[in-house]
Amino acid sequence: MTGDPARTWAVLGTGAFAQCLLRGLAHRPERVTTVHVIGRTGQRARDVAALATGHGTLAGTQVSFVPHDAGPAPTERLRPLLRSLRPTLLIVCASPQSPSEARTRDSDWARLLRRAGFGATLPLQAALVRDSVLACADASPGTQVVNACFPDLVNPALHAEGLPVVCGLGNVATLATATCARLGLRDESRLSLLAHHAHLSAPDDLRDEAAAWLDGAPLTELPKVLDEVRTMPRAFLNELGAHSAVPALHALTDPALSYTGHLPAPHGLPGGYPVRIDGSVLSLRLPPGMSRAEAVAFHREREHLDGVRLGEDGLLRLTPGTHAALRAYGADLPAVFRPADLPDLSRELLELRDRLRQTCSSSPPDQKEGP
């Protein structure tokens, strides 16, 4: 075991979100003394850890960032690593599929993602999170798992399979932080925002928009505020989301600290919510007159925006448009499947991705390119 478990965290991933999170921790470590940075290559992990260490030096803090090489298949080395480190938190910031690919590339795979919606990548987003929860249960039962990869749907799907994830990061927290900045609010406790991952972009139908309350009263100008927020580059929004996660993570692991803000998928609920953390206990902080069931229903009614729904029966259902887009590009995925099917579907999607990344046709044979 390395260090004091109560002050030891681990971050799985070395991408942009993980880097921002680590920089935030370097400047605000609180009682955390060691953060283990787990990357797919040793050099990448060392570089990212060194960057975070540099920020800690600038901030005058004492947190230590320790790199670890997990290799190209991280789950193979995760169990022995967790058994050795026993961190309080494992924060998953890595998946086989980057959310930015649909926006930044022009292969047939990128075209498929644009047509099908982000929910089509659910099996890929869930892969490392699922493996991480299983690895912790086996090798480090005291470690809590927090997920930054499409938590709005990944976390509920894993909970339906009996695999607990405490909460997610980003998404609603990102939008809440940016909204408070636009409104000039210094205290996020005045804002209650219900927002799904899909609300990072404006919905086609205003009835599908996020909802917010300011000081308990409906925030009627929310669509206008969010329109302004959404003009920010996605990388900037991700940075806000990563930094906003730091005080929430501290409150989860230190009973002396508290947090009032927003998090996606607390305790496996779909979508993002206003929350409070006191004594390391995470609870909802809903606007006056709204029940937990009503808040969950709000998000279930908007899951279609990402192209996949999780029913109360525990089954995942692709929307007709998403399923049709996948079939048009050669994906033989069922329209309805169980959370336990996600690993097999992930392997199928990876094989399809390998093929489609090599091509750059204008459209599949049976589907025209949209506007």
**Tell me: the pLDDT tens digits for 272-323?**
999 999 999 999 999 999 999 999 999 999 999 999 999 989 999 999 999 9
Q: What is the pLDDT of residue 366?
A: 34
Residue 367 lies in a domain: no
Separation of alpha carbons 28 and 48, rounded Å: 17
State whether 21 and 118 are in the same domain.
yes
Surface-to-core class of residue 93, CB atoms within 10 Å of its CB (0-12 exposed, 13-18 middle, 19+ buried): buried
Judgement on whether residues 343 and 210 belong to the same structural domain of the protein: no
Residue 77 sits in a domain whose CATH number is 3.40.50.720
Distance CA 243, CA 20 (A): 7
Q: Is residue 70 part of a domain?
A: yes
13 φ/ψ angles, rounded to the nearest 5 degrees: 130, 150
- Give me the residues paired with residue 262 across strands: 274
Which pLDDT does position 360 carry in this prediction? 60
Instruction: Scan for tokens 């929860």, then name that residue.
Output: 133
Same domain, 87 and 45: yes
- Both 135 and 224 in one domain: the answer is no
- Strand partners of residue 284: 275
The answer to whether residue 366 sits within a structural domain is no
Quote the CA–CA distance of 151 and 178 in Å, as a whole number.
19
Task: For residue 235, give the CATH number of its domain.
Answer: 3.90.110
| C-alpha–C-alpha distance, residues 242 and 238, integer Å | 6
Q: What is the DSSP string of 268-313?
A: G-SSEEEEEEETTEEEE-PPTT--HHHHHHHHHTTGGGGTEEE-TT
Residues 9 and 112 in one domain: yes
DSSP 328: H
CA distances from 340 to 71, 259, 315, 371 (A): 25, 33, 10, 36
Task: Indicate whether 162 and 225 sit together in one domain.
Answer: no
User: Which ranges constitute the DSSP H helices of the chain?
Assistant: 16-27, 42-59, 74-85, 101-104, 108-116, 122-139, 151-160, 172-183, 222-229, 234-253, 292-300, 320-328, 342-356
In a domain, residue 76? The reply is yes
pLDDT for the residue numbered 359: 73
195 in a structural domain: yes
Q: Is residue 145 domain-shared with residue 249, that is, in the same domain? A: no
Residue range 229-250, pLDDT digits in tens: 999 999 999 999 999 999 999 9
Residue 71 is which amino acid? G
What is the SS3 assignment for 139? helix
Number of domains forming the structure of the chain? 3
Query: In this structure, are 97 and 242 located in the same domain?
Result: no
- pTM of the full structure: 0.92
DSSP code per residue over 212-244: EEETTEE-TTHHHHHHHHTTS-HHHHHHHHHHH
Alpha-carbon span 252 to 247, nearest angstrom: 9
Region of residue 337 (phi > 0: left; psi between -120 and 50: alpha; otherwise: beta):
beta
Per-residue pLDDT of the chain (371 residues), as tens digits, is 444 445 899 999 999 999 999 999 999 999 999 999 999 999 999 999 999 999 999 999 999 999 999 887 777 789 999 999 999 999 999 999 988 888 888 889 999 999 999 999 999 999 999 999 999 999 999 999 999 999 999 999 999 999 999 999 999 999 999 999 999 999 899 999 999 999 999 999 999 999 999 999 999 999 999 999 999 999 999 999 999 999 999 999 999 999 999 999 999 999 999 999 999 999 999 999 999 999 999 999 999 999 999 998 999 999 999 999 999 998 889 999 999 999 999 999 999 999 999 876 544 433 333 32
Supply the pLDDT for residue 113: 92
Token code pair at residue 353:
């991705």
Of 140, 166, 192, which residue is a domain's last? 166
Answer whether residue 371 is part of any domain: no
Final residue of a structural domain among 240, 271, 303: 303
Residue 363 lies in a domain: no
Q: Whats the size of the chain, residue-wise?
A: 371
- For residues 27 and 94, membership in a common domain is answered with yes
- Would you give the end-to-end CA distance of the chain in angstroms? 56
| 295 in the same domain as 177 | yes
Domain extent at residue 213:
172-303
Residues 6+ apart with CB under 8 A from 10: 35, 36, 37, 38, 82, 85, 87, 89, 90, 91, 143
Q: Do 241 and 336 belong to one domain?
A: no
Q: Is residue 330 part of a domain?
A: yes
Chain centre distance of CA 128:
12
Of the residues 119, 141, 166, the one at which a domain ends: 166
What's the rounded Cα separation, in Å, for the pair 344 and 124? Answer: 10
Whether residues 311 and 241 share a domain: the answer is no
